[in-house]
Amino acid sequence: MSEALYRTAAPAAPPVSAPAERTRRNPWLAPGSLASLAVLAVAFLFALAPGLFATADPYTGTDVALLPPGADHWFGTDSVGRDLFSRVVFGARQSLFGALIAVLVGAVVGTLFGLVAGTRRGWVDTVIMRLVDVLLAIPGILLSLSLIIVLGFGSLQAAFAVGVTSIATFARLVRSQVITVANSDYVEAAYGAGATRAQALRRHVLPNSLTPVIALAALQFGSAVLQLSILGFLGYGAPPPVPEWGLIIAEGRDFMTLAWWIIALPGLAIVATVMAANRLSRNIDAAAEA
C-alpha cells in the first residue's frame, strides 16, 4: 500500500489578517511603537515650548502645599505649593536636552575612536581598545560622579559626564562594524576600482556602519535620561529651584508618605521616556535587520 495513504494531513495554518501581517513586517505599526513615538513627541514638545503647556509658573508657589491632583493642579502641588505639572513640563528641557548632549558626546567621540581602531589596526587598535576596556571597567555612575567633581556642578557638566560614560560602548560597536564592513566584497571591489582608503571609508565603510550606531544612540538616550535623573536626585545636576526631573523627586522624597504624587508622577514621566526610547532603539535595530 502506498506510503501516502498513511500520512495524515497537516492542519492548515490559520490565516493571518492583513493588519497583523503589516505589523509583523513593519514594527513601527505596532501599538507599542506608536505609543512610544507619541510619548517622545509629547516630551520633546514640552522641552521645546514648555510655556505653551505649563498651567502655572513653575517657580511660584501657591497658598496650598501638598495639594492632591485635581482640575486646577493636574499633578498636585509640591511641599512649597508650586504646580507640579508645570515643573515636570519645564523639567523636560533640562532632562531631554541634557540627554541629547550626552548622546552626542558619546556618539561622536566613540565613533571616532572605533573608526580609527577599526581602520588602522595594529598598535593603534590595541591602545584604543585598552582605553575602552578601562572605561568599561568603571561603573558609569561612579565615573560620571568623578567627572562632575572635577568639572564642577551643573546641568551641562552632568550631561558631559554622562556622555563620557557611553564613549566606550560606541567605540566597541563602531570598531566591530567597521571591521566587518571593511572585509566585505563591495569594499574590496571599490579598492580594485582604484578607490583610496579615504574614499572607501567615506563612501562605503562609514555609511554602512552607522545604522547600529543610530539604534545604540536611541538606547543611550533613554539611559542618559535615567542617569541624569539619578545625578539630579543626588544633587549633582541642575541647582534648585531649577525644575529637573531627578531634582523634583529629590525635593519630594521627605513627603512621599503624605503626598504620593510628588514622587510617583515625575517618576512616571522618567519611566515613560526611558521605555519609549528603548522601544525606538529596538525598532531601528529591527528595521535594519529586515
In a domain, 3, yes or no: no
CATH of residue 225: 1.10.3720.10
State how many domains the chain has. 1
Q: pLDDT class for 10, splitting at 50, 70, 90? A: very low
Q: Helix 211-234 vs helix 140-151: angle between axes, to the nearest 10 degrees? A: 70
Helices (H), 183-260: 185-192, 197-200, 211-234, 245-252
Q: pLDDT class for 41, splitting at 50, 70, 90? A: very high
In a domain, 252, yes or no: yes
In a domain, 104, yes or no: yes
Cell of 67: 495639594
In a domain, 180, yes or no: yes
The mean pLDDT of the chain is: 86
Mean pLDDT along residues 141-159: 91
Distance (Å) of CA 60 to CA 75, 77, 82, 88, 109:
15, 11, 6, 14, 41
Of the ranges 69-78, 101-110, 188-197, 212-221, which one carries the lowest mean pLDDT score? Answer: 188-197
Asked whether the beta carbons of 256 and 212 are under 8 A apart, the reply is no
Could you list the residue range(s) of the whole structural domain that residue 254 is in? Answer: 31-47+83-289
In a domain, 119, yes or no: yes
Any idea of the CA torsion for 46, 84, 261, 238, to the nearest 10 degrees? 80
Asked whether the beta carbons of 104 and 121 are under 8 A apart, the reply is no
In a domain, 2, yes or no: no
Q: pLDDT class for 219, splitting at 50, 70, 90? A: very high
For residue 36, pLDDT beyond 90: yes
For residue 90, pLDDT beyond 90: yes
Say what the pLDDT of residue 68 is.
Answer: 92
In a domain, 62, yes or no: no
In a domain, 43, yes or no: yes
Percentage of the chain exceeding pLDDT 70:
89
Q: pLDDT class for 39, splitting at 50, 70, 90? A: very high
Asked whether the beta carbons of 244 and 227 are under 8 A apart, the reply is no
Asked whether the beta carbons of 107 and 213 are under 8 A apart, the reply is yes
Binning the chain into helix, strand and coil, the percentages to the nearest 5 are: 75, 0, 25
Q: Which DSSP string corresponds to 45-81?
A: HHHH-HHHH-SS-TT-B-S-SSPPS-SS-TT-B-TTS
Say what the pLDDT of residue 223 is.
Answer: 95
